[in-house]
Amino acid sequence: MALIQAKLTDQNFAPIQADRISQKNSDAVSIEGVDRTPEIWIDLEEVLSEEWEIGGPAMTPETLRALLAGE
């Protein structure tokens, strides 16, 4: 069995995006020879943006969107 844990900041990912993250992670594990069936568990945890930091500053939803947009 494989367990993949991913943390997402709140207010930045729609449910369909979270589904895609789960799908892509389980696809990546299946490349290593593990079937995607019940042997792969995906645990997505939503973290408050104020608790997510990169280099010290908190990642607000606006800051993260700008970062992802390449600004």
Structure tokens at 35: 């079937």
Cβ 40 vs Cβ 4: under 8 Å = yes
Q: What are the tens digits of pLDDT across the range 8-30?
A: 887 777 888 888 888 888 777 76
CATH of the domain at 63: 3.30.429.10
User: When comparing pLDDT for 55 and 43, which is higher?
Assistant: 43
Residue 35: per-residue pLDDT = 63
Residue 63: per-residue pLDDT = 80
Per DSSP (E only), the strands in the chain are: 2-9, 40-47
**What total number of domains does the chain contain?**
1
The domain of 40 spans 2-68
Q: What are the tens digits of pLDDT across the range 47-56?
A: 887 777 778 7
Closest CA to 23 of 36, 35, 12: 36
Backbone angles phi, psi at 40, to 5 degrees: -115, 120
CA distance 37 to 8: 24
